[in-house]
Amino acid sequence: MSHGSSGDRISARAAAIGPQRIRAMFDRAARLESEDDRDLVHLELGEPDFDTPAHVVRAADEAARAGRTNYTANAGLFELREAIADSREPRPDPASEVIVTNGGVEAFHLALETVCDPGDEVVVSTPAWPNPISQARMAGAEPIEVPMPAAEGFSPDPDRIVAAIGPETAAVILTSPANPTGRTFGAEGIRRVLGAAADHSAFVIADEVYRGLTYTDVPPPAAAIADDDLRKWLLTVDSCSKRYAMTGWRVGWLVGSGDVVGAMTRLREHTTSSTNAPAQYAAIAALTGPEEPIEEMARAFARRRDLVCDRVDEIPGVSLAPPEGAFYAFLDVSDLEGESQAVADRLLEEYGVVTAPGTAFGAGGEGHLRLSFAAGIDRLEEGLDRLERTVRDERGAG
Ligand SMILES: Cc1ncc(COP(=O)(O)O)c(C=O)c1O
* Residue 24, helix vs strand vs coil: helix
Question: Taking the CA of residue 16 as centre, how many other CA atoms within 13 Å lie in the half-sphere pointing to its CB?
Answer: 13
Cα–Cα distance, 137 to 119 (Å, whole number): 10
CATH of domain 6-51+292-394: 3.90.1150.10
DSSP labels for 99-142?
Answer: EEESHHHHHHHHHHHHHPPTT-EEEEEES--SHHHHHHHHTT-E
AA identity, residue 63: A
- The tens digit of pLDDT for each residue in 360-391 reads 999 889 999 999 999 889 999 999 999 999 99
For ligand 1, mutation pick of 44, 45, 129, 361 (most atoms within 8 Å of CB):
129
When pLDDT is averaged across residues 149-168 and rounded to a whole number, the result is: 94
The β-bridge partners of 237 are 207, 254
Judge contact between 237 and 112, C-beta under 8 A: no
Q: Would you say the CB of residue 103 lies under 6 angstroms from ligand 1?
A: yes
pLDDT value, residue 398: 45
Does the beta carbon of 130 lie inside 6 Å of ligand 1? no
- Give the integer Cα–Cα distance in Å for 176 and 190: 10
In contact, 238 and 101? CB cutoff 8 Å: no
Are 47 and 380 a contacting pair, CB within 8 Å? Answer: no
Q: Does the beta carbon of 102 sit less than 6 angstroms from any atom of ligand 1?
A: no
Domain boundaries for CATH 3.90.1150.10 within the chain: 6-51+292-394
The reply to whether ligand 1 has any atom less than 6 angstroms from the CB of 46 is yes
Distance CA 68, CA 152 (A): 51
- Render pLDDT for 112-157 as a digit per residue (tens, 0 to 9): 999 999 999 999 999 999 999 999 999 999 999 999 998 888 999 9
- Cα–Cα distances (Å) from 227 to 85, 98, 99, 253, 260, in that order, read 18, 18, 22, 22, 18
pLDDT, tens digit, 9 for 90 and up, residues 262-296: 999 999 999 999 999 999 999 999 999 999 999 99
Residues of the chain with CATH 3.40.640.10: 69-288
Q: Which atom of ligand 1 is nearest to the CA of 175?
A: 1
User: Whole-number mean pLDDT of the chain?
Assistant: 94
Residue of 23, 45, 105, 249 to test ligand 1 pocket, by largest number of atoms within 8 Å of CB: 105
CATH 3.40.50.2000 fits 69-288, yes or no: no
pLDDT tens track for 193-235: 999 999 999 999 999 999 889 998 877 899 999 899 999 999 9
- What count of residues does the chain have? 398
**Residue 397 pLDDT greater than 70, yes or no:** no
Look at residue 351 in the predicted model and tell me its pLDDT: 93
Taking the C-alpha atoms of residue 279 and residue 283, their distance in angstroms, rounded to an integer, is 6
pLDDT of 18:
85
Is residue 305 within 8 A of residue 328, CB to CB? The reply is no
What phi and psi values does residue 98 have, to the nearest 5 degrees?
-135, 130
Task: Determine the distance separating the centroid of ligand 1 and the alpha carbon of 392, expressed in angstroms.
Answer: 34
